Structure 1
């Protein structure tokens, strides 16, 4: 009876499931042994538990009997050992759509013998070391701890074992979440878990015998935390957007972003977006959160910011889904959808006549667009009544008002009231509206005032032929009083006349020529010459007028050839030519076309061809050598007025031609410097510069005073010197040592002599000598027609022109100086004449000369004779030459 009742329940359940889903779920029927050990495999992946044939797939399994567990693949195993005869329980299958399915499990006993003889149970138990991941529902309710799964090793058949676990959730964070009953292998959880914190846990299980020996390999265990919809969706990202007003419906505004911490790609995280207000203005995509404009009538002027409330709900918006609400701010940006409008339908203003550049009135406008933007700023224009350009409109940048200005004076007598139309527009065109720019009428009254005389017309045009005689009346220019329309009492004066060509008769306004009117004058532009006239009435009011004189041309200029120096390139036997152009300041018919002819003095070597209105080609009639030629050419204008002009033509070898004109090369007689010549010039310039610097250095160098000892007791001797010029160590007592130049009371005194720079006159001596005594000095002497440069001369005074001066006094100093004069002349003489006159070689006493000289003894020059006798100079022999070479450097130059 009980079995029948269960069967009826099963049938009812099946009918319910069939009504709910088209798939067919049947109960799980299995035969098992009476004694079931822990971990016994009841069924493996049954079709009923995997919902085969149904549209949905299972997610979790829950057993109604705690003695049995269901793995994630639908496998039913025992949690602990038990003895049964029959066993019935159910498994609740939760699918991915959130629906729950119930499957009944009916177990019946079978014979023990086949069960014991079968190895299937052992094989299945052995597979428990490789179980599928365990499942654990997050946020499970107490009490804790709760049994989770049973783990077992097939080694328990042969050994008395115990189990241990370690790893995440056991010995590492979160520590103590899982515990294990060592003897049975039951895995238990001690508290609720949060999938968003730890979506899964991985640890290992080990099995040991009583001796603590590990009898099987360790078992990796993965516990997957099943998701519960315990997190409501949240907004992420910005929620402030902008869109133009008057935008088209469907315009993208922005995207609202949200997230959910629950398991991705499930209903727990499938969010639906819903607008809670402003649904007439905006719309949102329920699955993506994209905001768009729903209408094309968004108006910033009505509401510039819209606060839109949005709900986000998971479970795809199902009522049992979790939700959040937030606000999105949508700012409407401005477009020019409002034209400026006038506050009045008619504006009136008043202005005095003849006033210029004055503000007449202000015209205010209103604009609903955003202030201080191009959509708001107004531009004003006088669209009617300003045909003569008397008005100007501007905009006040602060108030946006229109400012009406009069730029040309108005005339009350002509128009007492002026009707204007003012149009206002923005800086940018109108957008998204059918409105147009608006206009308003303006009535401007002109005030009357006493005015000065007015010229009529304001500008007088006169035609005058140039070169008319002075005093010729060319016209009359009168002014009228605008009040009386009369010219009585008005006087006329000239204001501007650049060339002083016109005079104005004061009482009549007649215009007469005062100087020659020249159309070709630089004061004339486009044949026009302007003067201004001032009219003054009896009340001293002034009127101004302008006279434009149109000057007619007269044939007062002849054609001329401006460029009379021409160049023809010599091309050997080929006849060359050059273009000759003429100009005439007059206008046709008094100028072009010109008539070109060769002059009467033409030598027949030239001819003219290819005539144009203002030019002709001058060509060689015969081949000519290079040179300068003169060609007479007669040029006349169209009226036959002209003159003969001479053209200078240079025939040369051209180095190039530019625009048909030749450029002569360097003449053959000239010398062109090559690179070596230029280098020589540069080096010469540098040497000259160095010479100048040397002279400056010599002249500016401070000379030390030279002290000369008057000790004549030492014997003179020549010392070996490596210098080419006389050495500083030459100390011949007779020739080289001179008493001091200071004489006091007729006696000699030794002392220093100052070197001075003196420019010699006669005798052309050098620029330096010692005044007051003798010292070495490089000089130049003139003897006859030849020059000699000497050095080591003793001198105090200058002599020249081969004239000898003897000192008048008889002191020893004078005697030494006189001997020095003779020696100088003799040395210079020996340097020029042949060696035909020598003195006898006399035996003399000399000082030690050191090493022997190639010339032998210097002979008679070692000692001097009498102080007053100069005869010894005529008897100097060949031994004097070496001494002369030592003391002098001789160079012969021509005059």
Structure 2
């Protein structure tokens, strides 16, 4: 044989569980790919039929097996070269993963043994290299080759559930077979070796309502029409076992909390066929009369409901609304009550679900009715006047004792207590009126004067004479009517004057008049002069028929030299019935007027003359006034 194709042979003794085989591993041409797949011990035993086949140089090591968790050191295989003649001339060397601390080789015999307990879940296999070296030359007699020691699995791990805790919800009344949840467990053992990691699921608690698919862990319902109102939550305990559930395997369990969600499969139901409430007759509008409640086994939106009152005539006095928090029907007063008019109300109340799912119930099953009886309680109420306000008129010349009017009040309670009347003193400070305490008749107590006070606002009280002596008040407005009891007078204190040189027919003074009375058709005054035997040659009164009159000059020869004052009586008459009049005497002064018609000195001259001043003094004073006026004009 040539050196390139020299044939050599290794012998490997391999121990495996229940099998011990001697395997001849032949060399191949270097460079071939080394196999990473091995055979089980049984396969290695079958390979013994090829012990004497001679192959080309190069090693292909089959896998060696060692059981995990074995605490006893033991020989798991033996390497031997064909060059080994038993003379211990060959030295065997082991290197690679775990060499020296996990595995060791007897350098003389080539036996491979374990040094410690192995854990497949920590490390499933080890890759090692073997060498055979001539002790004398220290040269390899075989090329280095690689092989694998595989840790053989045993069932030493408990399956564990993932993603705990499990919480799920399904609708109540769901059909059988509805998926609830899926539980998943894992096992750290080798899934490719035996049944160690082959899991199976079963129900420990939760039957007959739920079941689990043994291989997938999918939980489904197995009971029809589960009712949330009967039971809302279930605790389903699921067990998982390895070894396909066979004896000797490990198991663990988990709990799945299953809640039933609500569907609208219940309608409202009143617990009572009749609800009775009492309310006082003086209760304010809007007050709560009472509450009614229709039970609904559902929750949330499925339990929401609306209430209504069915009797239209009765329900106008009351109304009902839903309390959004408690879902109660709140009965409220919508109109004032009167015990003496109506003492009892009877009406129907209906509750209807907001949300209706006719898949579970018919339309009529989503509503219910009951009867409401509301009793009106009598309350001792104050008297009530027959009119909300009284308004009368009385002439101002009414005699004391004149009847102005009569107020009337009554006790609206069934006892009908007698009433006593009185006038509030604060409202009639003048004490102009009095009232009969028994019949409410108001009469004049003092003379009235419209010009002093034209309206009297009087407060009249009516009080019950028995029981609680309740009282009420009413406003009485009394208007004092005008009569013609005031004479007309000139509007002011007139001081007329006439200029020298005034022509006949010229207006000297315009007059107007006033009268405190207020006749219905308004004032109409008549102006005239006092009747004399002879006509006044100097002045006359011209009535303008518009409640004014003018003093008119009748001649043109007025001079201060002749006369400086004229007295003119003026008579003013009203249109009343009877007519009243007054006479005022006016003093008309004669004045030397300026070109503008102004009389600056008339009053001063008149005052001086009345004090007995001399003519010379007056002329001097007049001259000074003229000079002063001229300076002003310049």
- Given the two structures, how large is their TM-score scaled by the length of structure 1? 0.36
- Given the two structures, how large is their TM-score scaled by the length of structure 2? 0.49
Higher relative contact order (CA 8 A, sep 6+): 2
The structure richer in strand per residue is 2
